[in-house]
Amino acid sequence: MNYNSSAYNLTAAASHHEPLVSRRLLFLRDVQILELFIALFVFVTIHSLRQKKHQGMPVWPFLGMLPSLILAVRSNIYEWLSDILISRNGTFRFRGPWFSTLNCVVTCDPRNVEHILKTRFSIYPKGSYFRETMRDLLGDGIFNADEETWQRQRKTASVEFHSANFRQLTSQSLHELVHNRLLPVLETSEKIDLQDILLRLTFDNVCMIAFGVDPGCLSPNLPEIPFAKAFEDATEATAVRFVMPGFVWKLMRSLNLGTEKNLKESIKGVDYFADEVIKTRKKELSLETETAKRSDLLTIFMGLRDDNGEKFSVKFLRDICVNFILAGRDTSSVALSWFFWLIEKNPEVEENIMVVICKILEQRDDNGDTKKNIEYEPVFRPEEIKKMDYLQAALSEALRLYPSVPVDHKEVLEDDVFPDGTKLKKGEKVIYALYAMARMELIWGKDCCEFKPERWLGDGRYTSESAYKFTAFNGGPRLCLGKDFAYYQMKYVAATIIYRYRVSMKGGHKVEPKMALTMYMKHGLKVTMVKRSAFEIDHYYR
């Protein structure tokens, strides 16, 4: 009985304690698993952080360098990229998450840049990734084309850009825009977002060059123009594709969701405008009226034939014009915005520019058309703009520090080795970081981060730099087609404004770059335009 009872007790005790024991065992197992996880976490963290020494930043399992990139996107991505490139001697390999297309080699070494843009140009096209991402907006236009399609447009546009007719069209339309529209707007508004005004100016200007049509963005009250709005929305929505895995935006596109829905709508707006202009121009050309003598790009390309002797399709004509608008729309205006911000911070540079302008104006020798006669409202002549070397130096210096295209993109067609020894695999993406190039002591010396127009002058004359050291306008066969015009346009606008106004930024407006295809100021450039008195202007003539 006792035995039995003790047996019973044992059994009872066992059955009573069993959950306790198994709970303890379970608890112990949980602790072990937790310990295992902590150990694994510590190991992965240490391993990933140790990679920083070799790769420039931590490399996490599955996520690669994405966490660092996300943190950088929230602050100033270009400064972040520059710091890494400086610490990696000019080149590093970015490892994206395993599910993405973000893997690439990033460089700011001029030897590599020359290799990509000139020496081995044929194996570094824009590539299928770039073309596919931009195709809905840019189609087969020059910016988005490689090989034959690119070559044909480049050749025709190049001849056109250097023709006397085209030069006359560009300088005349710029002159009208600046004097009839920009100055009246500045006259009536003291506190302005200068970046917005400049963006409107160059948008109207490039539309006149491409389509031969003025959309009227720069008008009193600064209206919202449907075509300009559609164009801006379309470029912004396209830029989003670059930071998304390809399959995500493609799925969103097929389901017509989010940014892809916006993109579709805004492209409709762009196409509507382009189709209307093309239709009207066709009519005008068939009637052979005065307007048929136009020299805008649309008219020029309409008069040409393709390799089969056929006229270009409406779609192709649309692509050509849209690409030129993208190329020339905001590159000059953002460069001018950074330039005005820099001279506001460096008043001695502004003074020098003013002195040079007045010296040039003083040389006018045509029937007394002196400063007194022009009543401080000079209209600069092309030959005078050409003489403004110091202004060109200051603009180049602004473009060096804040290049309108801060990073650019290529894809390599076959295995290759960069001059710095970096090995590339066929199909790998390559990014060259122009913003970082300006901040490399090895390239520009110890004062690389300072705004010093003097570094561009030799004996007082402007001296250009190698396109692979100063790559703001690209280099090699794909050198910016609008470079000469852009300098003329920027010098003309800057000289006209500076002669009449001082730009003042009192009040602590924050200026920082926005992450986009072009180097916009994130919060615009809010300034006060202070009109110079005749007395003040006189002072510069002495």
Residues 63 and 97: beta-carbon distance below 8 Å = yes
**Cα–Cα–Cα angle for 177, 238, 226, rounded to 5 degrees:** 40
Q: Which is nearer to ligand HEM, 113 or 335 (CB)?
A: 335
The contact set with ligand HEM (CB under 6 A) reads 142-143, 154, 206, 209, 324, 327-328, 331-332, 335, 399, 404-405, 408, 472-474, 478, 480-482, 485-486
Nearer Cβ to ligand HEM, position 56 or 141?
141
Rounded Cα–Cα distance for residues 454 and 445 (Å): 14
Residue 178 C-beta: closest distance to ligand HEM, Å: 15
Specify the residue, 143 or 211, whose C-beta has the smaller distance to ligand HEM: 143
Render the burial of 211-223: b for 16+ CB within 10 Å, e for the rest. Answer: bbbbbebbeeeee
76 vs 156 by CB, closer to ligand HEM: 156
Tell the smallest beta-carbon distance from residue 445 to ligand HEM (Å): 23
* β-strand partners of 457: 462
Q: 121 or 376, CB closer to ligand HEM?
A: 121
At residue 171, what is the residue type? S
Minimum separation from the CB atom of position 313 to ligand HEM (A): 20
The CB density around residue 523, as the number of other CB atoms within 10 Å, is 13
Residue nearest to ligand HEM according to CB distances in the complex: 482
Q: Are strands 104-107 and 429-433 parallel, antiparallel or unpaired?
A: parallel
CB of 286 to ligand HEM, least distance (A): 27
Report the nearest approach of ligand HEM to the CB of residue 145 (Å): 8
State the nearest-atom distance from the C-beta of 400 to ligand HEM, in Å.
11
Q: Are 374 and 392 in contact (CB under 8 A)?
A: no
C-beta closer to ligand HEM: residue 488 or 501 = 488
> Which residue lies nearer to ligand HEM by CB, 245 or 476?
476
What span, in angstroms and rounded, lies between the C-alpha atoms of 92 and 108? 9
Q: Which is nearer to ligand HEM, 263 or 335 (CB)?
A: 335
Q: Nearest approach, Cβ of 487 to ligand HEM (angstroms)?
A: 8
Region of residue 49 (left: phi > 0; alpha: psi -120 to 50; beta: else): alpha
CB of 143 to ligand HEM, least distance (A): 5
Looking up tokens 């579709």, which residue turns up?
264
Q: What is the DSSP string of 6-75?
A: HHHHHHHHHHHHHHHHHHHHHHHHHHHHHHHHHHHHHHHHHHHHHHHHHHSS--BTTTBTHHHHHHHHHS
Q: How near is the Cβ of 355 to ligand HEM at its closest, in Å?
A: 24
d(CA 429, CA 412): 7
Output the 3-class SS for 410-426.
EECCCCEECCCCCEECC
| Smallest distance, ligand HEM to C-beta of residue 536, A | 29
* Min CB(162)–ligand HEM separation in Å: 13
Residues contacting 165, CB < 8 A, separation 6+: 295
**Complex with ligand HEM: residue 84 or 297, whichever CB lies closer:** 297
With respect to ligand HEM, which residue has the nearer C-beta, 63 or 117? 117
CA nearest to 534, candidates 310, 342, 375: 375
Give CA–CA dist 48/55, Å, rounded: 10
- 60 vs 324, beta carbon nearer ligand HEM: 324
DSSP state at residue 398 = H
Q: Which amino acid does the sequence have at 1?
A: M
- Closer to ligand HEM by Cβ: residue 63 or 517: 517
How many residues make up the chain in this entry? 542
By the 8 A CB rule, do 435 and 407 touch? Answer: yes
Say whether 534 sits in a helix, a strand or coil.
helix
Least Cβ distance, residue 438 to ligand HEM (angstroms): 13
